[in-house]
Structure 1
């Protein structure tokens, strides 16, 4: 099954006025796809292939830097929420969550995820995008950025790509809200000054390029919506609502959006957080061979951005979702508090317990 592609141009050209029937239908399609698959491919004319390539080129150069240099950007005292997270730190939720383990043991063999054997062998860089609140109870989730020496283009490249991807998320958030029968700004109003994170991962395929290697163990994302530019190496598997496992192929010029735990909370489980993993597949091996032949970088970089609900906003089922019999499973909680609880489980809060 191919994940459907939605062209955002029709919604963007409709502007701020009344939503016509054609755009309404598109919005219903967006909310329906998110509900059933937890993933959506979009084309946004404001996010170009060149933008994605410029970002990937810079991040490949960074991840290829010596180990000791990268460690200078590490901030464990801030829960790794800014700067670099070295490989071997983040623990996949599926390694520590017994309920999750029971769930995937009950899956048919062909749908089971790859079982990680320890912490993820991936690096990650956390870069805040957008304005932060001047007054917040969750200062460490809204800290100042870390800029590595020797990368004069760093801030402009990170901010430019990050803002473009947030713009795409905001459009999808508006379309999903309309499709779910909520006010257009139901989600975007809660996202204002959220601790949005551009969080590219780097996986060293020279060291870890063996088929079956798990880079990011089976997990959901703890944030609202996640967006990725196209990676130069495939390897992402997602699970549909019906439990089927699908390897995602992101076409050139497209962005991939995935549902996180915060949208699940706001819709009382009508839209579930999408389960996914990143592993070395046979298609990854083919891409490694091609890259080697052309002397290209063998770091798999994902240009991932986590869009969040503002830390001081309250997560609770919105509008008609509050009437759902499932709403009691989603009691009101401050978004920042929710994030801190989740970070503790995956070893990013300074004690062993979503990325």
Structure 2
């Protein structure tokens, strides 16, 4: 199935830049909201055009992150915070274990897929680096302080904070718009999702893959996994390599249309819809097309770090996750019992070896 593009432009006020669905829903808007929810449920993925997020914004952000990831590892490790489960500052490569490797049943199911739809089987921790930067206000009080800690700014990057915040808030505004439309499409009050996202530990998490050192076809930068959060969003990368899996098990190479953002469902959205929206599975690997892009970038003397402008939106740590509205009556609701979002997050981080404070039971 082809992933459609949802244009948010008609619903963003030109003067204020605010997304607005106020007033009576007209049939055309209801149709768009139904399309958003249907596609998220069927494919777990969506392309979005948002006039507030420009290619220039993304380029400014990516250029800064390329310079950062090109710094020596010793420098980047100064921004690593293991006691915060690497949910703040730098996450070194070779640390995070793909969920499919940590959970044998997940890898077993992947191997049962038709050959052409199987992921590249990960054999160890991901090669990717990350930088975690909190977007939006944090709660004044929380029982999950380690998931809501303060910013870390690397030395020598004077526009770091302004660049991260500018791009992060724009991506977050696109997520909130889609979350509102999806809620309407799912037959829930329009603020069902956005109210849970308020004061959430949203993370602008640019991911860096060193294609100069690891540019061989078949290299796995991010092994087969799903995201732990609510919705993941990013702009198109300069280097291909992202594959996703639809609900029916079909593997699709993501080619983000020019000027568009890519959104994928996370585990928290699956939780509150009792599995109607399954968390989207994906991987980032070096393909033939990636190798071609590496050659072109080398000729043009451009950076060989593959940087993605990923933002993870997340439900507030102290909010209780459970199936919402009519989903509470779903026959699958028992699989998604009430749990604090922060508690769920900590347990998931333990599985992928990022939480040093908890041991698996």
If the length of structure 2 is used for normalisation, what is the TM-score? 0.96
What stretches of structure 1 of length at least 5 have no aligned partner? Answer: none
What does residue 73 of structure 2 align with? 67
- For residues 281 and 37 of structure 1, the distance between their equivalents in structure 2, rounded to whole angstroms, comes to 22
1:219-238 equivalent positions in 2, closer than 5 A? 219-238=225-244
Offset at 1:3? 2.0
Q: How far apart in 2 are the matches of 1:114 and 1:64?
A: 26
Q: Where do 1:120-159 residues align within 5 Å?
A: 120-159=126-165
Match of 1:269 in 2: 275
Question: Over aligned residue pairs, what C-alpha RMSD do you find?
Answer: 1.0
Q: What SS does the aligned partner of 2:332 have?
A: helix
Taking the aligned partners of 1:352 and 1:253, their CA distance within structure 2 comes to: 43
- What whole-Å deviation, never above 9, does each CA across 1:225-254 have from its counterpart, x for those lacking one? 000111110110000011100000012211
Counterpart selection for 2:92 from 80, 86, 95: 86
Superposed structure 1 runs of 4+ greater than 4 Å apart:
none
Task: Say whether residues 1:39 and 2:39 are aligned partners.
Answer: no
Contact 1:201 1:302 in 2 (8 A): yes
Matches within 5 A, 1:113-192: 113-192=119-198
TM-superposed CA distance for 1:19, in Å, is 1.6
Distance 1:55 1:267 in 2: 33
Aligned to 1:3: 3
Counterparts in 2 of 1:254 and 1:327: CA distance versus 1, 3 Å: same
**Can you give the 5+ residue segments of structure 2 that lack an aligned partner in the other structure?**
14-19
Q: Matched residue of 2:323: which SS?
A: coil
**How many residues of Structure 1 are paired with residues of Structure 2 in the alignment?**
353
Aligned to 1:84, the other structure's residue is in SS state strand
Match in the other structure for 1:280: 286
CA distance in 2, matches of 1:332, 1:18: 33
**1:271-311 deviation digits (Å, cap 9, x = unpaired):** 10000000001111111111111000000001100000000
- Indicate if the aligned counterparts of 1:228 and 1:304 stay in contact, CA closer than 8 A: yes
Q: Distance in 1 between matches of 2:208 and 2:2?
A: 26
The CA deviation at 1:18 is 1.8
